[in-house]
Chain A
Amino acid sequence: MFSTYFRALRATSKFGSLARYESTLVIAEHNNESLLPITSNALTAAKKIGGDVIVLVAGSKCQAVAQSACKAQGVSKVLLADSDAFKGFTAESLTPLIITLCNEHKFTHVLAGASAFGKALLPRVAAKLDVSPVSDVIDIKTSDTFIRTIYAGNAIQTVKSKDNVKVASVRGTSFAAAPLEGGDAKCENVATDGYTANQVQYIKQELSKSDRPELTSAKVVISGGRGMKSGENFQLLYTLADKLNAAVGASRAAVDAGYVPNDLQVGQTGKIVAPDLYVAVGISGAIQHLAGMKDSKTIVAINKDPEAPIFQVADYGLVADLFKVVPELTEKL
């Protein structure tokens, strides 16, 4: 009885303010086999906007992905665009598809995770819609007001979009993951003719293989910096990481020195992480690195320089030689 009353009240107030009912298109990020975790975070952001949440699964032979998206809580509908045209998930092939869907369904919002995929795609979509996108939002205040960081996380900006379609990428670590169960959305196939992008030819991917948890969604992250002195020494961190079921990250200095591959970089221009526990080993704590990890719940710093800026953000600090302390820590855990 109460629910009927509230629904009626809500309908009246919507009508009263002449607000357009929100409907959000979430562009799923996946690998043709399963949804990537950041999609679950984007779904939570979409729910915060209110209204319908429609998920687009575009790829090649990605039926299973669409099925799992149907089970995600709070999803109203799943659109499946299955075609070889979307091989490599290029922005050039996906953008015209998304524009067609926007024209057809009159979405008020288009969201995706602020990953390499989302960052490459959404601004192109926004340009085609002639709207100004909002990048890497950390919170949604109302359906047109978003919060994001600027200057490497050193200032927080609240922006109000005046465009009729809001295109925004979502910082995964700022929104909880929506459960991928309990939902029962319908899956609808959409036409996929004419989207083959002749402009770009996808050749290949070279992905770093690892048995450890994925960096951006790991509960514990152990990162090494210039203080590690060599790539071989990162083994110390891998051993510790295995004990803690942690992902391994790195500062730009460690990546530039060739100790570890680029995709491990944490920071303003690398990945943004916010694990429960972040252990910074031999990392001084430059502004650009802090931008990528300072929302971690607990930060531990191990550095022999007591003046290192990392100690200003660390909950627990050890001023010591990492080559002594890290093996000791591994052994005692």
Chain B
Amino acid sequence: MARVLVGVKRVIDYAVKIRVKPDKTGVVMDGIKHSMNPFDEIAIEEAVRLKEKKIAQEVIAVSCGPTQSQDTIRTALAMGADRGIHIEVSGSDYQTLQPIHVSKLLAKLAKEEKVDLVILGKQAIDDDNNQTAQMTAGVLDWPSGTFCSKIEHNNGELTVTREIDGGLEVIKMKTPAVLSADLRLNEPRYATLPNIMKAKKKPIRKLTPKDLGIDITSRIEILSVVDPPVRQAGAILPDVDTLIAKLKEGGHV
């Protein structure tokens, strides 16, 4: 297997409590801590492990977004990716950038870079879509292994264990293929300081959707973003008997 392409997204850090903008257009992004989408860290880790096992020769990290997305690519490079590609999308274009666009951009790059495997996170924790990997596979007409918890590679064939609702499922496919990483695929490594320094020297190629010939006109209009309903404050009960009484009152037992 020659090359692996990994998509990485810059998202608001998972530990941040987000705030909805008063004008209902979205959530507050400015001055908020961002980091790499946790599922994408797992995707990068898996690609780097494939390289360490000499199954992959090169790992390319790609991110679509504003200038700051380069920080996310640098993180991927520090984790062991060889080079980066930044597809610059900013301003209002970025607000309406959707998996349909990203999947087309990734598919185009996958062809151009002649990759054998695309690994993505199963979902981004901001828009919670869980679409990009499936759509990229659809655009390329490649097989997909979604929600992977184990990836084995033998003689050009991938055996993929997927997390499904009732348990696990095993499928086999040949490359080229698209995989999406679930939480339990691996434990991502921390980038060490020397690797962070080395990552600064690794190349990042800059492109625009136009360079790749992909139209990013919005297909979905966001009408509003609001806070979810707030739950009524509850009560701390003194003992089990009171709890049982309350549950009986509510008709639960």
Contacts and interface: CB of A to CB of B under 8 A. Distances in A.
Interface of A: 88, 90-92, 95, 115-117, 119-128, 130-136, 145, 148-163, 197, 199-208, 216, 220, 244, 252, 255-256, 261-263, 268-269, 271, 276-277, 287-288, 294, 298-300, 306, 311-319, 325, 328-329, 332-333
19 contacts: A116-B146, A124-B144, A127-B136, A127-B138, A131-B100, A131-B219, A135-B131, A148-B128, A155-B227, A204-B170, A206-B170, A220-B252, A255-B184, A263-B163, A314-B234, A316-B235, A318-B239, A319-B236, A329-B243
A135 to B, nearest CB: 5
Contacts of A88: 169, 171
Given A157-B225, A252-B183, A263 B166 contact: yes
A28 B18 CA distance: 36
A263 B165 contact: yes
Nearest to A288: B14
Interface string B22-66: 000001000000000001000000000000000000000000000
B111 interface: no
B17 interface: yes
A39 to B, nearest CB: 13
B168 interface: yes
A316 B226 contact: no
Contacts, number: 247
Contacts of B237: 316-318
B2 interface: no
A135 B135 CA distance: 13
A154 B236 CA distance: 24
Contact of B234 (A244, A287, A315): A315
Contacts of A244: 253
A208 B166 contact: yes
Contacts of B18: 151, 154-155
B247 interface: yes
B69 to A, nearest CB: 19
B171 A202 contact: yes
A311 B234 contact: yes
A120 B144 contact: yes
B220 A162 contact: yes
B221 A318 contact: no
Interface of B: 12, 14-15, 17-18, 20, 27, 39, 98-100, 103, 122-123, 125-132, 134-139, 142-147, 149, 159, 162-174, 182-184, 218-228, 231-237, 239-241, 243-244, 246-247, 250, 252-253
B227 A318 contact: no
Contacts of A136: 128, 130
Given A92-B144, A208-B166, A269-B183, A157 B224 contact: yes
A67 B146 CA distance: 31
A323 to B, nearest CB: 13
B234 A132 contact: no
With most chain A CB atoms within 10 A of its CB, the pick from B17, B172, B231, B239 is: B231
B135 A127 contact: yes
Given A116-B164, A262-B149, A156 B228 contact: yes
With most chain B CB atoms within 10 A of its CB, the pick from A125, A127, A130, A288 is: A127
B183 A201 contact: no
B54 to A, nearest CB: 25
B143 A120 contact: no
Contacts of A91: 134, 137, 144, 146
Contacts of A130: 100
A152 B100 contact: no
B228 A149 contact: yes
A277 B144 contact: no
Nearest to A333: B253
Nearest to B135: A127
B152 to A, nearest CB: 12
B112 to A, nearest CB: 19
A271 B165 contact: yes
Contacts of B123: 269
Contacts of A317: 234-237
Given A158-B224, A160-B220, A126 B131 contact: yes
A329 B244 contact: yes
A245 B167 CA distance: 21
A197 B166 CA distance: 23
Contacts of A134: 220
Contacts of B134: 91, 119-124, 127
B215 to A, nearest CB: 11
